[in-house]
Every structure is written in structure tokens, then in C-alpha cells.
Structure 1
Amino acid sequence: MRGFVFSQFSHESGAGFTIIEVIVAIFLLTVGAVGVYSLVNQALMSASILSSRLTAVYLAQEGVEIGRNIRDGNWLEMADGLQCGGTNVEWADGLPFSPPKDRRGQYDTAVSDPCDGLPAHQDPPTPLIINSEGFYADTGSGITTPFTRVIHIEKPESGPNTWREITVIVRWRERGRTHNTIAQEKIYNWR
């Protein structure tokens, strides 16, 4: 049996960590943690912008639907023989083309008199609001949003009056940048 030998516990074998190895390990862990933090931060910022973009796409599509709804309402009024300014209602009444002014509208826009048309927007456009019912609206009171919406309507320059091109531009400002989404569709008098 051997006796207790102190040399078995000495650090001369190099089995422990040196201060350099500890510093390198801490550095690598710090770089990794900062990288993960940056990725998470970037993902959260992207999620916010993507959420706003999705809302803007829905608002732009709603603008196109407003134009389509007015056209469809005109067809019903045409079937009833209603008149506008002494003449029968036409399919595109209420869809005045731009220029002179771009238009605005909201989810419940109904042109009670096709002679009136969509209201002209303010220049610069006013922000949409979220009203007490939780809907986005152009007028009234509620929570102001960063979104503005402009409805631009064009008609054929010549030839038969058989279509209108509706372009809806939704803009918003987020994180110091201006973003926009555009929806565009031609609606036809296919009846």
C-alpha cells in the first residue's frame, strides 16, 4: 500500500482551465447570446410590420370592394328604373373617375343617390380611424390609426364605357419608414 502522495493533486499536469480558456469561453457565449437577441429582436420587428401589412392589404381590398358594391347597387337601381339627373341610372354612376380628385370610402359606404358619387378625399389624406363598432372608417370619431386610404378610379379614354379601373393605395408610417400597399382591379359592365 502506498502512502498519500501530494503530487497526485498538483496542477502540473495541465488538466485545469487557464484564464485564457475561460475568457475565450465567456466571449463565445456572449457572442452567441447577442446573436440570439438580435435575431429575436429582428423577428419581433418583422412581425409588427407584417401585421400592419396584412391590415393594409385588407383595407386596400375593401376599397376595391366598395367600388364593386356601388356598381352592383347601380345594376339593382337600373332594374328598378331609377333616374339620375333626369336620365336613367348607369352602371358606373357613383364611380367618378379621377382626376379631378381621388376618392375615399369605408366599409358601409353606400351611395344613396348615384348622382352623388364617392366623396373626394382630403389632401393630404386623413388617417383612418377605428370607430366604436371596431371597424376602420374615414369619418367619425374613434381611435386614430396610422393608415390612410385613397381610391383612384380611371375610365377608358376612348371607346365604349365598359370598365373602370379601381386602384386603392393604403399608406402608413411605422418605425420611421413609410410603407404602402396597392390593390388594383378592373370592374366591368358585364350585364
Structure 2
Amino acid sequence: MNGNLGIKNLSLWKFRKKSSSYFKCGFSIVETLIAIAILSVAVVAPMSLAQRGLIASIYAKDQVTAFYLAQESVEYVRNLRDANNYVGRSGDSGDWLRGFDGIYDANQNIMFGIDVSAQSAFQIINCSSNLALCRLNFDTSRGIYGEQTGETWQSTIYTRTLQVKPFTTDSDPFAGADLIATVTWRSGNIQRSMVINEKIFNWYPAPVE
């Protein structure tokens, strides 16, 4: 009788020991999974932040470049106004902005491209019917943007357009013009744009003598 009891106790002890080993193994797997999850979060979170920081840095760089490209076209119009007056073109006519053909027509939604790197006769491009004509390239030898092509010219992500919309006053039909400079580019799958709106005034009713 006692022998049978001893055998039963021994069997029960072995079963408990074996079951205890299973439970220990089970907890070890759970703990391992938790550790892996914590480690994954610890690694992925900084990498995600670094990626966002890199994307923000690239966007900031592109945005600054776009701003200066838009501002360049505005400054070009200012210089053209002064140059037209200097060579004797009266401010009492549309000649004060000669070069921007068609801006005094009924339809003033003309899109111009500005290429300051080209010869003077080719610096203003009408790209209303084809915006690809206003796509900017970059000259690696001189470090400037333009719309030319060649060995040293590389394509860029930027397209620049300029609208020149004259306005009048009661006393002056050639008072000035609204300038709308727009630079667009694509950042990944997102279309970006930089727009500058400025007014330019016809300060010189008569040519400089």
C-alpha cells in the first residue's frame, strides 16, 4: 500500500516538475517577444524622426530656392521698367514695359518665362500654351538657372511663370502692373508652389534726359 502511494507521489512530482518547465519556457517566449517589441520601438522611433527631419530639411532647401527664383523674375521686371525709360521709351504708353507683349490686351492671363542667362532678345518667353517652355535648367559651370540646354545644363524640378497685369487709375491709364511670380516643383508625390505678388509702378511719365 505504501509502495503504491510512493509511486503515485513520485509520478505527481515528475508531472509537476515537467509542467513547471513548460510554464518557465512559456514565460521566456513571452518575455522575448516583449523585449523584441520594446527594442523595435526604440529603434524605429528615432529612425522615423530622422527621416521626417531629412524630409523637412529637403523641403526647406527647395522652398528657399523657389523663393529666390520667384523674386528674381520680379526684379527682372523692375530692371526692365528702368531700362525702357533710360533708352527713351515714354511711360505715357505701354512702352514702359516693352518686351511683355500682349499684356494690354483684353485677355491678360499670359504666362511668361524669364531667362536672365539668355541674350536680351530671348530673355522673355511666352509659355501660356506650353508650360514646359518655362521649365528651368541649371548651368553647373556658372551656377545659374535658366531655360537653355547644353552640355553644362541639367534639368531641375522647378517651373517658373510670371504674369504681368497692368492696372490703371483715374488719372493714369499706365499707372502700374501687378506681378504674380509662381514657382512650382514636385517633392515626392506632393506638388509644391511658391507665389510672390507685388506691384510695380510706372514712375517715369517721360524718358530720362
TM class, shorter-length = 0.7 to 0.9
How far residue 48 of structure 1 moved from its aligned partner, in angstroms, is 1.1
Q: Which of these residues, 118, 133, 137, is aligned with residue 142 of structure 2?
A: 133
Paired residues of 1:146 and 1:172 also in contact (CA < 8 A)? yes
1:152 aligned partner? 163
Amino acid at match of 2:125: P
Shift of 1:108: 4.0
Matched, 1:163 2:176: yes
Give me the whole-angstrom Cα distance separating, in 2, the residues matched to 1:110 and 1:73: 15
Unaligned runs of 5+ in 2: 1-26, 205-209
SS at match of 2:200: strand
Count the aligned residue pairs.
165
Tell me how far 1:68 sits from its aligned partner.
0.8
Alignment deviations for residues 135-182 of structure 1 (CA, whole Å, 9 cap, x no partner): 100223310001011110101166421111111111111211211111
Task: List alignment gaps of at least 5 residues for structure 1.
Answer: 1-17
Is the contact made by 1:66 and 1:109 (CA closer than 8 Å) also made in structure 2?
no
User: Max radius of gyration: which structure?
Assistant: 2
Q: Counterpart of 2:7?
A: none
Residue identity in the other structure for 1:170:
V
Q: 8 Å contact 2:100–2:124 — kept in the other structure? A: yes
- How large is the Cα RMSD of the aligned pairs? 2.9
Q: Which amino acid aligns with 1:42?
A: R
1:175 to 180, 188, 192: 188
Q: Aligned pair in 2 of structure 1 residues 76, 110: CA closer, same or farther (>3 Å)? A: farther
| Amino acid aligned to 1:140 | T
CA contact (8 A) 1:94 1:117 kept: no
What secondary structure is seen at the aligned counterpart in 2 of 1:104?
A: strand
In structure 1, give the amino acid aligned to 2:114: G
Change (3 A) 1:65 1:110: farther
TM-score (normalizing by structure 2): 0.68
TM-score, normalised with respect to structure 1? 0.73
Task: State percent identity of aligned pairs.
Answer: 24
Task: Find the counterpart in structure 2 of residue 120 from structure 1.
Answer: 126
**Contact 2:164 / 2:178 at 8 angstroms: preserved in 1?**
yes
| More helix as a share of residues | 2
Kept in 1: contact 2:96–2:202 (CA 8 A) = yes
Q: Runs of 4+ in structure 1 displaced over 6 angstroms?
A: none
Which residue matches 2:198?
A: 185
